Amino acid sequence: MLSRIHQFDPKRIYNSYKDEIDKAVHDVLSQGSYIGGEFVKSFEEELASYLSENNEYTVISCANGTDALELAFRAANLKPGDEILMPSHNYVSAVEMAVNMGLVPIWVDTAPDAFTIEYRASELVRYLSSKTKALVAVNMYGMSAQWQELRNFCTQYGLILIEDNAQGLGGQLRVDNQLRKLGTFGDISTMSFFPTKPLGCMGDGGAICCRKDSPYADRLRRLHIHGQEVKYQFVEPGRNSRLDALQAAILRVKLRHLSETLGEQARVAKSYSDALAIVDSRCLTLPTNGIDLSKSYPSWHLYTIRVKRDLRDKLRAFLSDQKIDAGVYYPVPMHQVECYSSISSSHSCVCKRSDELSEEILSLPCYAFMEEEEVARVVAAVIEFFYN
Ligand SMILES: *Cc1c(COP(=O)(O)O)cnc(C)c1O
């Protein structure tokens, strides 16, 4: 009997590095310091040097990627009533944390031929008001946003640029002929270590990254531990949002192997792109369409195709019948989510491209250590669907 091919299968990474991960867990258990301590500190330092070799960045770990966004908004000094531009095609975390803090989300449409936020200044200016303070951009599916254009826009209008890199860790973008890791483009950048993310732990985890010399670094360091400068010196009200030592120890092992696991995902993505190129582009759009792969290296967190609306759900059901899971990330764009849509109702909120995307996107299984036969099964099923 055919076994089901899941959207993600993080256990394959565990099985591949089982001895090292088991040892790391055992080391933490026997060493006795379970919150904070050496494992967390080492992980933060190792991740910072992974993100930038010249040691310009600092990483502050926290409990998850959603908290990381809240901490970023707080460190950026955003206040109730401030407006914050964010993608309408997104997961819920950014809007949720913004609304919890009394900020006003302003939804921005997706850029043409992309999954990431609009970046053209001529379009972005339409969303500005005297209350606009920040812009959040997301490396959606692990594909880089247009960071140079976004940076120029934010500089011109005095906005803080926040990079949600929950899906992009390990991806890169070539800027001025230099390759730079995603997660180093925001004034503040956030990450999630949810198990299926590019660098996943075995529970919840998250982190924030900023330049060492930025005004945010010290603030972030204290905000996530009750606003303490040193123990019991409470400088401002903070949060309790910590990465625990067990997760840090596991993440250290997985970070050492990250280039291998991401290489595995890139291999699957390339197989899909090569094999599915024969399908009529009027029926199926590949994720590589519209990106320059010599400049932009996705983490391939998700391999997301676009299928004309009436066919998308049929293809998804067809794959499911063949025991292949394909997911929709995300079925409802944020400006259409009922509990949030009313909040910015005073603003014109037309995000046509995000609406279209939500009806056309479908993510094929793409994960490290996926077997050749599994990739071939997915390819064969998609091709059979379009040629029958
Ligand atoms: C996963 C994710 C988050 C939230 O991360 P958690 O660790 O689950 O809180 C935020 N933003 C994006 C884009 C994500 O994909």
Please write the tens of the pLDDT for every residue from 291-301. Answer: 888 899 999 99
Q: Is 191 helix (H, G, I), strand (E, B) or coil?
A: strand
pLDDT at 345 over 60: no
Q: Is the CB of 166 under 6 A from ligand 1?
A: yes
Is cis: bond before 303, omega within 30 of 0? no
Q: Is the CB of 65 under 6 A from ligand 1?
A: yes
Q: Which of 183, 186, 202 is nearest to 194 (CA)?
A: 202
Q: 384: CA distance to ligand 1 center in Å?
A: 34
- Separation in Å, CA 58 to CA 51, 183, 366: 9, 11, 30
Q: What angle do CA 163, 169, 173 make, to 5 degrees?
A: 75
Ligand 1 mean position, distance from CA 138 (Å): 10
Nearest one of 271, 334, 275, 331 to 300, comparing CA atoms:
271
CB neighbourhood size of 149 (10 A): 15
Query: What pLDDT does residue 115 have?
Result: 97
What region does 61 belong to: left with phi over 0, alpha with psi -120 to 50, or beta? Answer: beta
Q: Would residue 41 be called left, alpha or beta, if left means φ above 0 and alpha means ψ between -120 and 50 degrees?
A: alpha
Q: Is 91 in the pocket of ligand 1 (CB under 6 A)?
A: yes
What is the spatial order of strands in the sheet that 303-307 belongs to? 284-285, 303-307, 361-364
Q: How far is the CA of 192 from the centre of ligand 1 (A)?
A: 6
- Mean pLDDT for the chain overall: 95
Rounded Cα distance between 228 and 99, Å, is: 25
What residues have CB less than 8 Å from 191, skipping those under 6 apart?
65, 68, 165, 166, 169, 183, 197, 199, 206, 207, 208, 209
DSSP summary character for residue 3: P
In this structure, the residue with its CA closest to atom 5 of ligand 1 is 65
Q: How far is ligand 1, taken at its centre, from the CA of residue 164, in Å?
A: 8
The amino acid sitting at 332 is V
C-alpha 64 to ligand 1 mean position (Å)? 8
3-state secondary structure of 117: strand
Region 115-137 average pLDDT: 97
Which domains can be identified in the chain, with CATH numbers? 11-256 (3.40.640.10), 258-387 (3.90.1150.10)
Q: Is the CB of 194 under 6 A from ligand 1?
A: yes
3-state helix, strand, coil in the chain (%, to 5): 40, 20, 40
C-beta 190 within 6 A of ligand 1: no
Q: Which ligand 1 atom is at minimum distance from the Cα of 204? A: 7
pLDDT digits (tens, 9 = 90+) for 226-239: 999 899 999 999 99
- Cβ of residue 64 lying under 6 Å from some atom of ligand 1: yes
**DSSP tag of 136:** E
What's the confidence (pLDDT) of residue 350?
A: 85
- More confident call, 349 vs 77: 77
pLDDT in tens, 347-384: 557 899 999 999 999 999 999 999 999 999 999 999 99
The token duo for 17 is 């590095």
Q: How far apart are CA 37 and CA 71, in angstroms?
A: 21
Judge if the beta carbon of residue 167 lies within 6 A of ligand 1: yes
Beta pairing partners, 163: 137, 189
What does the alpha-carbon distance between residue 320 and residue 314 come to, in Å, rounded to a whole number? 10
pLDDT at 344: 66
- Give which of 143, 176, 138 is closest to 291, Cα–Cα: 143
Separation CA 261–CA 46 (nearest Å)? 17
| pLDDT for residue 109 is more than 90 | yes
Task: Examine the pLDDT at 341 and tell me if it is beyond 90.
Answer: no
Residue nearest (by alpha carbon) to ligand 1 atom 12: 166
